[in-house]
Amino acid sequence: MISQEVRDQYKITIGIECHVQLKTRTKLFSAISNDAREAAPNTLVSHICFGLPGALPVLNEAAVHLAMRAAFALGTEPQKFSKFDRKHYFYPDLPKGYQITQFDQPIILNGLITIDVDGTKKRVGITRAHLEEDAGKSMHPAGKDYSLVDLNRAGTPLLEIVSEPEIHTPAEAKAYARELYLRMKYANVSDANLYYGNMRFDVNVSVSKTDALGTRTESKNINSFRAVEKVVEYEANRQIEELEKGNTIIQETRGWDDAKQRTFSQRSKEEAHDYRYFPDPDLPPVVLDETHIAQVKAEMPIMPDEWRDRLASMGLDNAQTNTLLDAEVEEEIYSYLPLIEGHLADKDFAKTLANWLVNIEIPFRRDSEAPKSLKDIERSELFTAVYRLAKAGKLSSTNAKALILDVLQESVLPEDIEKFATEKGYIQVSDEGEIAKIVAQVIVDNARAADDVRNGEMKAIGFLVGQVMKASKGKANPGLAQKLLKKQLGV
């Protein structure tokens, strides 16, 4: 075993390449459905996907639009000029004998994102991100002397996002992967469904005792945040152990065995291809003008790092913030952050709303079987009405919560929320005369407590307020009740 002291002498350096499947309706270069999840093999294939003689690629404008959004989501702007290149190698699932990708002039360069590592902020540079087509899928049935190829996936648009080697711990690697996931979801660039391989991570790890980088290994096709973290942990330990034994690290591609929780060697870089990149003559360069770029920028929603700052300023702690940020992308039907975004002008309401979402609606959604039949606009109306009633002193915070839960449970927005609340008995009484009568009666009925207050034992006033609430069946405004108690007791 290597001691922690020895381990600490090494600095781990991590760079992550992430393939994101873009949520376009059709493929990157052909008008064929991009949704291969349930399709029978080789049914989503045109002459272009099949690489027939004479077939020419035609760029999907929607993919460019999503890449432009991704650029803003990665903290930069799309490049005004980018182009497509051919990358050559032979494989049965690569129909043309080359993959169309972007080599030296990608659509995204020099991004920068802030990630959250257990409450600590860290900035990670994005070297580049480029558009490319996916290959088909090869299957090798066990015990058979043949392989099968499914070209449904061939031509699916991918965005490959390459980070700077600025990540240094397993936790940072995991946080980076999660951050990319959130951003691609918020920007609506990808379904980012990890189960379906919509996001795949290639994790490059090296260790070194000096400032010079060590030899790196690349663990490919990792499809969970947890596995990204584990790969880094395993690889860093493995490499340190190798170096401590006096061995060298071989630059190679490795895979991740999730069952055994370890990486394994796949192939060494010595066998690396010469891909013979050159500009694809079938595709004119992508030229974006400033007006177009500005339009896309104006459509962009707020990204996670800005939300973190905003939610913190609204008094949410890190865990609450993460609850909200995660719920936003896990929830298929409802959105949370846009609801807050729609009311940012009213700071107090936005803050109340954030708290209600985190403390009331999100837990309710997680635990409840209630149908999700309220529209976003109805939810906005509900929260606004409840906030107004609370502000006007007509709802206690407890009753506000109860009212929200009732409406969510029934999944129908009442036509008149105040009427609904009144019928449910949630509206509190703020009529001074009426409460004054109850207060007088409570003082009579609780003479000892009343005396305690008169004698300066202010703790007892809480008890009396409780009695007023009880006597009013919860409808009295507790603030008003306290005020009137003090007045009548002369303190």
Using CB under 8 A as the criterion, which residues of the chain lie in contact with other proteins when the complex forms?
A: 47, 50-59, 86, 88, 90, 92, 95-98, 149, 274, 276-278, 281-284
Q: How far is the CB of 24 from other proteins (least distance, A)?
A: 17
CB of 15 to other proteins, least distance (A): 22
Residue 150 or 172: the one with the smaller Cβ distance to other proteins is 150
CB closer to other proteins, 149 vs 370: 149
Taking the least distance from each CB to other proteins, the nearer of 229 and 280 is 280
Please report how close the Cβ of residue 48 comes to other proteins at its closest, in angstroms: 9
As measured in angstroms, the least distance from the Cβ of 29 to other proteins is: 9
Token pair 């700052």: residue:
309
Looking at beta carbons only, is 55 or 293 nearer to other proteins?
55
User: Hey, which residues does 117 pair with through a beta bridge?
Assistant: 120
| Helix pair angle (170-186, 61-73), 10° resolution | 130
- Cβ proximity to other proteins, 145 vs 332, nearer residue: 145
**Which is nearer to other proteins, 277 or 349 (by Cβ)?**
277
Instruction: For the CB of residue 149, give the shortest distance to other proteins in the complex, in Å.
Output: 7
| Rounded least distance, CB 23 to other proteins, Å | 23
| Complex with other proteins: residue 277 or 463, whichever CB lies closer | 277
Nearer Cβ to other proteins (90/195): 90
Sign of CA dihedral 209, 213, 214, 220: positive
Nearer to other proteins, 41 or 51 (CB): 51
Least Cβ distance, residue 90 to other proteins (angstroms)? 5
Shortest distance, position 288 Cβ to other proteins, whole Å = 16
Tell me the closest approach of the beta carbon of residue 102 to other proteins, in angstroms: 16
Per-residue tokens: 424: 């449910």
CB of 93 to other proteins, least distance (A): 9
Question: C-beta of 284: minimal distance to other proteins in Å?
Answer: 6
The owner of tokens 């490049």 is 79
Q: Which is nearer to other proteins, 51 or 363 (CB)?
A: 51
Q: Which is nearer to other proteins, 50 or 349 (CB)?
A: 50
SS3 per residue for the chain: CCCHHHHCCCEEEEEEEEEEECCCCECCCCCCECCCCCCCCCCCCCCCCCCCCCCCCCCCHHHHHHHHHHHHHCCCCCCCEECCEEEECCCCCCCCCEEEECCCCCCEEEEEEEEEECCEEEEEEEEEEEEEECCCEEECCCCCCCCEEECCCCCCEEEEEEECCCECCHHHHHHHHHHHHHHHHHCCCCCCCCCCCCEEEEEEEEEECCCCCCCCEEEEEECCHHHHHHHHHHHHHHHHHHHHCCCCCCCEEEEEECCCCEEEEEEEHHHCCCCCCEECCCCCCEECCHHHHHHHHHHCCCCHHHHHHHHHHCCCCHHHHHHHHHHHHHCCCCCCHHHHHCCCCCHHHHHHHHHHHHHHHHHHHHHCCCCCCCCHHHHHHHHHHHHHHHHCCCECHHHHHHHHHHHHHHCCCCCCHHHHHHHCCCECECCHHHHHHHHHHHHHHCHHHHHHHHCCCCCHHHHHHHHHHHHCCCCECHHHHHHHHHHHHCC
Instruction: Give the number of other CB atoms < 10 A from CB of residue 410.
Output: 14
Angle at 326 between CA 318 and CA 404, to 5 degrees: 90
In the complex, least distance from residue 321 CB atom to other proteins, rounded to whole angstroms = 45
Nearer to other proteins, 246 or 281 (CB): 281
Task: Write b or e for each residue in 453-490: b if 16 or more Cβ atoms lie within 10 A of its Cβ, otherwise e.
Answer: beeeeeebbeebbebbbebbebbbbbebbbebbeeebe
* Closest to other proteins by CB, 245 or 273: 273
Read off φ and ψ for residue 260, nearest 5 degrees. Answer: -90, -5
CB of 79 vs other proteins, minimal distance in Å:
19
